[in-house]
């Protein structure tokens, strides 16, 4: 999946890129290098990034990774199952907060 198929980044990220283009370019290069380093496909990486950002309640990142996961073909049911898996390890409050973010993102469509 190429960058052209990815959802548009949030406005605050676009503003960051304009203000700090060298930092943004370096960040993008690092992300590309990490993605290209191993055997995981785009879909698997999307699910992993959802789990990381969602389990830490990095709201903006989690929302962005929800959009990216959907762009790779991950379904709402799969995203909800991933969040439900937070329950025994991370706890009910975090799982519920993450599920709320998923619901909010899905209702925007």
| pLDDT band (50, 70, 90) for residue 24 | very high
pLDDT at residue number 3: 55
Query: What homologous superfamily is domain 42-109 in, according to CATH?
Result: AhpD-like (1.20.1290.10)
Structure-block tokens of residue 23: 């930092």
Q: At what angle do helices 42-55 and 59-71 cross, to 10 degrees?
A: 160
Measure the CA–CA gap between 22 and 43, rounded to whole angstroms.
Answer: 28
107, 99 Cβ separation under 8 angstroms = no
43-78 per-position pLDDT tens digit: 999 999 999 999 999 999 999 999 999 999 999 999
pLDDT class for 12, splitting at 50, 70, 90?
confident
Radius of gyration of the chain (CA): 14
Calculate the average pLDDT of the chain: 91
**Number of neighbours of residue 13 by Cβ within 10 angstroms:** 13
């Amino acid at each position: 999946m190429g960058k052209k198929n990815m959802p548009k980044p949030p406005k605050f990220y676009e503003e960051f890129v304009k203000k700090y283009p060298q930092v943004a370019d370096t960040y993008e290069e690092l992300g590309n290098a990490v993605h290209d380093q191993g055997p995981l496909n785009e879909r698997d990486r999307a699910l992993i990034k959802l789990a990381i950002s969602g389990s830490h309640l990095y709201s903006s990142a989690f929302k962005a990774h929800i959009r990216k996961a959907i762009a790779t073909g991950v379904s709402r049911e799969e995203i909800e199952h991933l969040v439900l898996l937070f329950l025994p390890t991370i706890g009910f409050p975090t799982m519920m907060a993450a599920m709320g973010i998923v619901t909010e993102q899905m209702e925007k469509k």
